[in-house]
Amino acid sequence: MSPRLAAAFAKDRPALVTFVTAGDPTPDATGAILDALVAGGADVIELGMPFTDPMADGPAIQAANIRSLAAGTRTADILSIAAAFRARHPDVPLVLMGYANPMLRRGPDWFAEAAAAAGVDGVICVDIPPEEDDALGPELRARGIDPIRLATPTTDAARLPQVLDGASGFLYYVSVAGITGLQQAAQGSIDQAVARLKATTDLPVAVGFGVRTPEQAAAIGAVADGVVVGSAIVELVAQHGADAPAAVRTYVQSLSEAIASSRKVIR
Amino acid sequence: MNAPNTFPNTFKAQPDERGHFGQFGGRYVAETLMPLILDLEREYRAAKADPAFAAQFDDLMEHYVGRPSPLYHAERLSAAVREGAEPGMGAQVWFKRDELNHTGAHKINNCIGQILLAIRMGKTRIIAETGAGQHGVATAAVCARFGLPCVIYMGAKDVARQQPNVFRMKLLGAEVRPVTSGAQTLSDAMNEGLRDWVANVHDTFYIIGTAAGPHPYPELVRDFQSIIGREARAQLLDRTGKLPDLLVAAIGGGSNAIGLFHPFLDDPSVGMLGVEAAGHGLEGSEHAASLAGGFPGVLHGNKTYLLQDEDGQIAEGHSISAGLDYPGIGPEHAWLRDIGRVEYTNATDVEALDAFQLLCRTEGIIPALEPAHAIAAVAKRARTMRDDQIILANLCGRGDKDIFTVADALGVAI
């Protein structure tokens, strides 16, 4: 596992994993938003790669993709944003998240090499399931980048070993069968699912999809190794545009504090 | 292009067990959908081996769809395209009349097969995407026939240009949801269908309309549509004692074409020509010819040729035919093109409009704009073939739905 990701999940509190779309509202504005995530207490940064056809995303992240592409964001810009982030924050893990086509366009070797050069620790590709791992997985592993796998409510016990085979970094539990940002799962079902996953793997388990409030984040943090928040932050960017960093920082801080205190109480 | 002696023993052994046609196809879907895709594959294998499934499919094909569709020798069209050809040249043109099917196109063949699978799997809700509306109408029809609720996703732009089909779907009891994201056409409707499906996997079956999407869809859609080629092969042998020299079919996603081609793939004397939509011409970006103007990539669950930029962002296709206006193509066509078994060409909006009118005037048949692209290619190619040779083209849809678009393109107010 990437040493930065390992360290982020080895803290005495659950990790706060935060997502924004690269190039939203413009490529130049993303750096300050990423800094605000870190300043607010984010432990892992997911940098979304915009795509014209984000079929697993709900309205908030779809709109972010459209804003980013309309601002002219290119793959080279995303890699520059990542490299600049790495230079400013040598210890904060950075994960690229997106869809297969932009990652594979110039070949898996090219993408893995470019991501490694930019200091990327992990890659989440929404539409490369374990069955298609050889499209990108070997090239990422060869360069020490963690291919991060997703488990969902439809991933049953029989299938789970296949999802875990070749997974590294952390396991991302998508807590609702659906698209990003809309509903939230019942806490009871999250508790059960995380217990089931943690009985099967030593990888840290981070839970996302539909997490919005500090209270929700705290409740998930009480059982999981990490909490993923995306759409709610993306909506702040939509609302505040280039002035988003202050609002993002305040919001992320509220999540971070809630997660930290919740785990102390539970423990 | 491969030399013939490097061809495999059979072209019908694809896809492999992972759903790959050479480097194309596969199962590039979100994890939420993966277990369902695997279930579907298991259920499809079981259905394929079940004589009761085949019997029910065949019965509905005969008595509900109206199969077999006729095979028709278009003698006046043949004579028209022979004009100006060298002496002894100008092939005979025959049509497989799938426009005479119930609901007016080949789409119903696939919808019957898939709704029977949905019922086998205990699913109680059907969703589908549609471009021109033919697949939406066919899906709405089979849902009414089997009493299942039905949601059709359709790009808002297509809703506007295909109003008659929108009304047909509503009459048949379907809910039509206009999609306002992206270019508001077929590709966006498919995104929205996938979003619905991922949120409703427990009770919902997605009837994909073309031979694309994640495995096993390209395979099962091909198998259901292959009734076109099986019938045509038997009918032409019966009528002429010969196999065709050339098969021609229009290609958006490619389901009518693969349905015609597949049963002939291992007949080495049979040439095949797929016709993509060249829109305003291949020199610009206003076309939908993903083989001629695209590159391999991953979209909507499969790897195939896609219209895209150098960063892998998907381009918006354009065609006067809403049914061909898709930036990708079924993965089996991508494979057949790369190995050289099938030739692919294209026809522009203008050529399709000319061919549309030519068929109206010579044969008294109003074709859909999709097969009008195939007819345009037939007219060109027939002149280069001998007059004892046979072209068999798929007339995959009728043009009632398109008369407003055609009138508009011809500057006629109706």
- Structural domains in chain B, sorted by start: 29-63+107-221 (3.40.50.1100), 66-104+226-409 (3.40.50.1100)
Q: What is the ipTM of this complex?
A: 0.96
The two tokens of residue A92 are 């904060």
Tens of pLDDT, residue by residue over B180-214, are 987 788 889 999 999 999 999 999 999 999 999 99
Mean pLDDT calculated for residue range A55-78: 95
Which residues in chain A are closer than 8 Å to B34, comparing Cβ atoms?
Answer: 129, 131, 154-155, 159
Asked if A78 reaches chain B (Cβ–Cβ under 8 Å), the answer is no
Mean pLDDT calculated for residue range B91-108: 98
Alpha helices in B178-319 (DSSP H): 186-199, 217-225, 227-240, 255-261, 290-293
Q: Which residue has the tokens 């993002």?
A: A248
Q: What is the pLDDT of residue A19?
A: 98
Mean pLDDT calculated for residue range B362-383: 97
> Distance between alpha carbon B302 and the CA centroid of its chain, in Å?
16
Cβ contact, residue pair A104, B297, below 8 Å? yes
Q: How far apart are CA B282 and CA A71, in angstroms?
A: 27
Mean pLDDT calculated for residue range B40-65: 98
Q: What backbone phi and psi angles, to 5 degrees, belong to B360?
A: -55, -50
Among A21, A49, A51, A53, which would you mutate to test the B interface (most chain B Cβ atoms within 10 Å of its Cβ)? A53
Q: Among residues of chain A, what percentage have pLDDT more than 90?
A: 90
Among A132, A133, A183, A184, which would you mutate to test the B interface (most chain B Cβ atoms within 10 Å of its Cβ)? A132
Does residue B2 register a pLDDT over 50?
no
Mean pLDDT calculated for residue range B18-24: 97
Q: Among residues of chain B, what percentage have pLDDT more than 90?
A: 90
- Cα distances from B24 to residues A99, B67, B213, in angstroms, run 17, 32, 11
Mean pLDDT calculated for residue range A33-40: 98
Confidence at A181, pLDDT banded by 50, 70, 90: confident
The DSSP secondary-structure symbol of B24 reads E
Alpha helices in B200-263 (DSSP H): 217-225, 227-240, 255-261
The two tokens of residue B376 are 């345009």
Peptide bond into B216 cis (omega under 30): yes
| Residue B126 · residue B175 · CB < 8 Å | no
* Beta-ladder partners of B175: B151
Mean pLDDT score of chain A: 95
> Distance between alpha carbon A82 and the CA centroid of its chain, in Å?
14
Tens of pLDDT, residue by residue over A185-196, are 888 899 999 999
| Residue A67 · residue A20 · CB < 8 Å | no
Asked if B313 reaches chain A (Cβ–Cβ under 8 Å), the answer is yes
Cβ contact, residue pair B31, A131, below 8 Å? no
Cβ contact, residue pair B191, A55, below 8 Å? yes
Does residue B4 register a pLDDT over 70?
no
The residue of chain B with its CA nearest to that of A66 is B182
Q: How far apart are CA B154 and CA B130, in angstroms?
A: 5
Name which of B60, B191, B48 is nearest B120 in CA terms: B48
Does residue A262 register a pLDDT over 80?
no
Confidence at A212, pLDDT banded by 50, 70, 90: very high
Mean pLDDT calculated for residue range B356-378: 98
Smallest CA–CA separation between B198 and chain A, in Å? Answer: 5
Does residue A266 register a pLDDT over 70?
no
Q: How far apart are CA A190 and CA A142, in angstroms?
A: 33
Q: What is the pLDDT of residue B5?
A: 52
Q: How far apart are CA B25 and CA B212, in angstroms?
A: 8
Q: What is the pLDDT of residue A226?
A: 97
Q: How many CB pairs under 8 A join A and B?
A: 117
| Residue B125 · residue B205 · CB < 8 Å | yes
A178-210 per-residue burial string, b: 16 or more CB within 10 A, e: under 16: bbbbeebbeeeebbebbebbbebbebbbbbbbb
Annotated catalytic sites of A, by residue? 46, 57
Mean pLDDT score of chain B: 95
Smallest CA–CA separation between B406 and chain A, in Å? Answer: 30
The two tokens of residue B119 are 């019922």
- Cα distances from B33 to residues A126, A155, B206, B261, in angstroms, run 11, 9, 11, 30
Asked if B28 reaches chain A (Cβ–Cβ under 8 Å), the answer is yes
A129-163 per-residue burial string, b: 16 or more CB within 10 A, e: under 16: bbbbbebbbebbeeeebbbbbbbbbbbeeebbebb
Q: pTM for the whole thing? A: 0.95
Tens of pLDDT, residue by residue over A142-168, are 999 999 999 999 999 999 999 999 999
Q: How far apart are CA B391 and CA A257, in angstroms?
A: 73
Helix (H, G, I), strand (E, B) or coil at A210: coil
Smallest CA–CA separation between B174 and chain A, in Å? Answer: 23
Q: Among residues of chain A, what percentage have pLDDT more than 70?
A: 98
| Residue A18 · residue A37 · CB < 8 Å | yes
Domain boundaries of chain A, sorted by first residue:
3-266
Of residues B27, B191, B312, nearest to A131 (C-beta): B27
Confidence at A265, pLDDT banded by 50, 70, 90: very low
Mean pLDDT calculated for residue range A215-238: 96
A3-266: CATH class: alpha beta
Smallest CA–CA separation between A50 and chain B, in Å? Answer: 9
User: For the CA atoms of B304, B306, B310, B312, what is the dihedral angle to 10 degrees?
Assistant: -70
More confident residue, A5 or A179: A5
Cβ contact, residue pair A53, B300, below 8 Å? yes
Does residue B3 register a pLDDT over 70?
no
Residue length, chain A? 267
Confidence at A182, pLDDT banded by 50, 70, 90: confident
Peptide bond into A130 cis (omega under 30): no
The DSSP secondary-structure symbol of B397 reads B
Q: What is the pLDDT of residue B162?
A: 86
